[in-house]
Structure 1
Amino acid sequence: MREQFRNHQTQTTCWDHPKMTELYQSLADLNNVRFSAYRTAMKLRRLQKALCLDLLSMQTACEVFEQHTLKQNEQLLDISQLVACLTSLYQRLEQSHSHLVNVQLSVDMCLNWLLNVYDTGRTGKIRTLSFKTGIISLCKAHLEDKYRFLFRQVASATGFCDQRRLGLLLHDSIQIPRQLGEVASFGGSNIEPSVRSCFQFANNKPELEAAMFLDWMRLEPQSMVWLPVLHRVAAAETAKHQAKCNICKECPIIGFRYRSLKHFNYDICQSCFFSGRVAKGHKMQYPMVEYCTPTTSGEDVRDFAKVLKNKFRTKRYFAKHPRMGYLPVQTILEGDNMETWGSHTNTHTHTHIHTNTDKRHK
């Protein structure tokens, strides 16, 4: 069974390591980010760094999985097995990042997180698939390499996946934002609409091949959009844009840069954009383009042409033609698309996202 931690000052016990409690408390600082996909991704990025998983390559993770013969994905792993596997992971990381990795603390915290995500019943066990899903989702790897790995875990020996197996993967994936209290923004805990969406995309074939799954994931389905956004957040962290924020006047803009496709020379930094601040004359429903890396001359020309076109469009046009930056999932009961970015804001400010996250790490 899972061990509880005792606070000797308050004489109380809890399931979380004291450092984990501090980390969760620090995530509250990000609750002012209005768009839930970005709010969730920024929380996960902080979690990823605290667990040192941003240092873990997929190759190293796979070698450790192999070392511990984690092949039966529906097999349950107990605490001792999880600790043994995590210890191997972090000992590998310590060899190349000794100044960053405290093996014992990292094992304790990662175990704490995995159990919070996948062992809500406090049984002291989680499935092998759950363990792999959690580790790979937050490791350092190309986004599509993560998709390929996760698909292989639920595919048959012939390389195809049926609806039940896809459901297992999506269920384990959605537990990651659920643990942060963000699951409602990604369609809720019911994964059936997402499974149905994927197989409808594959022309309702009885089984799904990897290429079709990848094509569906590239559309950023609502239940999984937090993962590519996490990659964009990581890519944008050190980006420096030679532009000035029209609201707070920050120059250069560090992080995400949001450029208006309605007004010339109108840029917003990520802090102002995430808090919903706008300058006079600019509406939230106007289209914006997001950059997590500095723009190229070709992108500048393309955006200039779009601004010219949008100059002749009215506010009514943008209100009547909202666009989403993700693939919405439709439920059977409600019949309406559930919103990803949060009901208190417009979705189509995220319509145009120009970044090749497949080539980004973390």
Structure 2
Amino acid sequence: MIEDCGQSVDTMADRRQLLVEMRAQDLDSIRLSTYRTACKLRFVQKKCNLHLVDIWNVIEAFRENGLNAMDLNAELSVARLEVVLSTIFYQLNKRMPTTHQINVEQSISLLLNFLLAAYDPEGHGKTSIFVVKMALATICGGKILDKLRCKKHNKSLSYF
């Protein structure tokens, strides 16, 4: 029982790691809320190496993991979310030159913990597919026009 509590505390600490690092950047001192939000999202994007992933690679990862055929209201377990993120980052490393390889495990861990802290604060271990698709599509790198085109093309987001 005590070990379970210790693991729970460690898990919550892991989930908050990115937020603690963000606070250390003192981004809350930015006055305008839109700039502050943009800087925080950019921090998360760069820290998790999502600036290197474009929308088309995210869509491909969704397809490889069968998320494009699932109901948007369906729940996605933490294990399944981790598999999706693994697909994204391992595919990214395959495309990168050997001199610019990323730490895949760290990127997966940071992004997984950020998504869980943001969208599963109670720790149920599940989040909706719609939330995951929108979060990853929004925070990944690439042209905003491509992102909007994908979202508008199929309003139901089945394209994702």
What TM-score do you get using the length of structure 2 for normalisation? 0.80
Structure with bigger strand share is 1
**Over aligned residue pairs, what C-alpha RMSD do you find?**
2.5
Gaps of at least 5 residues in structure 1 are 7-11, 158-362
- Give unmatched runs, 5+ long, in structure 2: none
Spell out, residue by residue over 1:16-62, the C-alpha distance to the aligned partner (whole angstroms, 9 max, x if none): 327425423324x1222111100110111111100111000111111
Q: Partner of 1:101: helix, strand, or coil?
A: coil
| Bigger relative contact order (CA 8 A; separation at least 6) | 2
Aligned to 2:74: 75
Query: Which amino acid letter does the alignment assign opposite residue 82 of structure 1?
Result: L
May I ask how many residue pairs the two structures share in their alignment?
Answer: 149
Q: Is the 2:62–2:84 contact (alpha carbons within 8 Å) kept by the matching residues of 1?
A: yes
- Per-residue CA deviation, residues 272-298 of structure 1 (Å, 9 max, x unaligned), is xxxxxxxxxxxxxxxxxxxxxxxxxxx
* TM-score normalized by the length of structure 1: 0.38
Residue 105, structure 1, aligned to residue 106, structure 2: yes
The 5 A counterparts of 1:217-228 are none
Report if the CA contact (8 A) 1:54-1:140 is conserved.
yes
Deviation of the 1:154 alpha carbon: 4.3
Q: In the alignment, is the contact (CA less than 8 A) between 1:58 and 1:136 conserved in 2?
A: yes
- 2:92 and 2:77 mapped to 1: Cα distance? 23
Are the equivalent residues in 2 in contact too, given 1:5–1:15 (CA < 8 A)? no
CA 1:21 to 1:85, structure 2 compared with 1: closer, same or farther past 3 Å? same
Change (3 A) 1:63 1:46: same
Give the helix-richer structure, 1 or 2.
2
Structure number, greater radius of gyration: 1
- Per-residue CA shift, 1:120-169, capped at 9, x if unaligned? 22111111111111111011222122123234564399xxxxxxxxxxxx
Indicate yes or no: 2:39 matched with 1:23.
Answer: no
Listed one character per residue, the Cα deviations across residues 161-203 of structure 1 (whole Å, up to 9, x for unaligned) are xxxxxxxxxxxxxxxxxxxxxxxxxxxxxxxxxxxxxxxxxxx
Matched, 1:55 2:77: no
Query: How far apart are the structure 1 equivalents of 2:123 and 2:45?
Result: 23
- Is the CA contact (8 Å cut-off) linking 2:93 and 2:102 kept in structure 1? yes
